[in-house]
Amino acid sequence: MSRWNEILFNCSIQLLQLLLSFTTTNYKQIVNEISDIINNSNISRDDLPIIKRRLADIEKIELSKHKEKQRNKFQRDKIHTVYLNQDMNDINTTNHKVPRKRKFKRRKQKTESIVVNLSSKELTRAEESLLSVLCHLPNVSDNNLVWLPNKTEYRYIDNITFDCVGELELSNPLAIKIDCAIDEFDETKGKWKGEIPLCQGNREQQFES
């Protein structure tokens, strides 16, 4: 083992010597070439710092030009990318139509069409709220006009039938009945739907006279 280590050590020493001699030879060759260049030209040793400074300036100029080219190329590529994205967006918008939002009008619920099931013993909350709607007593100015049924209060879906006393007749034969309906502006209140007629003389008697 020691013999092997000794061989490796000697080989390493010889290798280092070869590298040193090779480096020294190259260094001498470079120095000789530089000396030949200086001797064959009109350049003195005092001109070397100026030459180095000019070479450094040239290197800076070339570096700035290279950076400027890279910057211009980057901006050009960026603009091209933006235009490409815009073109792709235009293509997508033309191929895919955006669905329109439809507005649905809410229909007004007609309260007159609501039917309360009085045959059932158990009423729903909606039916109870409807039955709590009251209509005031009809405003009748004609003393000859009577109505049935004659009650102190009238609720939703109640109706009144009119008639005249004696031989008098209704001014409008179609206005014989009014219904208690829900007020359009206030669902908690009721109002009479229909026309309150007046009483007038018999038409046959009017024609005879």
Q: Per-residue pLDDT tens for 126-140?
A: 777 787 889 989 888
Q: What is the pLDDT of residue 112?
A: 47
Same domain, 137 and 166: yes
Across the range 25-49, mean pLDDT stands at 74
Same domain, 64 and 18: no
Question: Domain containing 157 — which CATH number?
Answer: 2.10.70.10
Residue 197 contacts residue 140 (beta carbons within 8 Å): no
For the full predicted model, state whether its pTM sits above 0.75.
no
Same domain, 192 and 137: yes
Domain annotation covers residue 53: yes
Confidence of residue 179 (pLDDT cuts 50, 70, 90): very high
Same domain, 60 and 21: no
Same domain, 66 and 82: yes
Distance between CA 203 and CA 209 in Å, rounded? 10
Q: What is the pLDDT of residue 199?
A: 93
Domain annotation covers residue 129: yes
Domain annotation covers residue 109: no
Same domain, 149 and 203: yes
Same domain, 72 and 129: no
Burial pattern 23-47, b for ≥16 Cβ within 10 A else e, equals: eeeeeeeeeeeeeeeeeeeeeeeee
Residue 167 contacts residue 134 (beta carbons within 8 Å): no
- Sign for the pseudo-dihedral over CA of 168, 174, 179, 185: negative
Same domain, 69 and 25: no
How would you classify the pairing of strands 177-182 and 145-148? unpaired
Across the range 164-176, mean pLDDT stands at 89
Q: Give me the percent of the chain exceeding a pLDDT of 70.
A: 70
- Amino acid occupying residue 34: I
| Higher per-residue pLDDT: 161 or 72 | 161
Same domain, 54 and 89: yes
For all residues of the chain together, what is the average pLDDT?
Answer: 76
CA distances in angstroms from 116 to 22, 112, 159, 177, listed in the order given = 117, 11, 14, 20
Domain annotation covers residue 120: no
Asked if pLDDT for residue 113 goes beyond 50, the answer is: no
Domain annotation covers residue 113: no
Across the range 169-187, mean pLDDT stands at 89
Across the range 43-56, mean pLDDT stands at 74
Same domain, 131 and 193: yes
Q: What is the pLDDT of residue 204?
A: 60
Domain annotation covers residue 204: yes
Across the range 139-167, mean pLDDT stands at 89
Domain annotation covers residue 70: yes
Same domain, 51 and 20: no
Same domain, 62 and 34: no
* Residue ranges of E strands in the chain: 134-135, 145-148, 154-155, 159-164, 169-170, 177-182, 190-193, 199-200
Asked if pLDDT for residue 93 goes beyond 90, the answer is: no
Confidence of residue 192 (pLDDT cuts 50, 70, 90): very high
| Higher per-residue pLDDT: 92 or 163 | 163
User: Could you give the residue ranges of the DSSP H alpha helices within the chain?
Assistant: 2-40, 48-95, 125-131, 203-208
* Containing structural domain, residue 172: 125-208
| Residue 31, token pair as written in the block | 């120095």
Report which secondary-structure segment, H or E, holds 129.
Answer: helix 125-131
- Amino acid occupying residue 194: G
Count: domains in the chain: 3
Burial pattern 140-157, b for ≥16 Cβ within 10 A else e, equals: eebeebebeeeeeebebb
**SS3 for 189?**
coil
Domain annotation covers residue 82: yes
Confidence of residue 177 (pLDDT cuts 50, 70, 90): very high
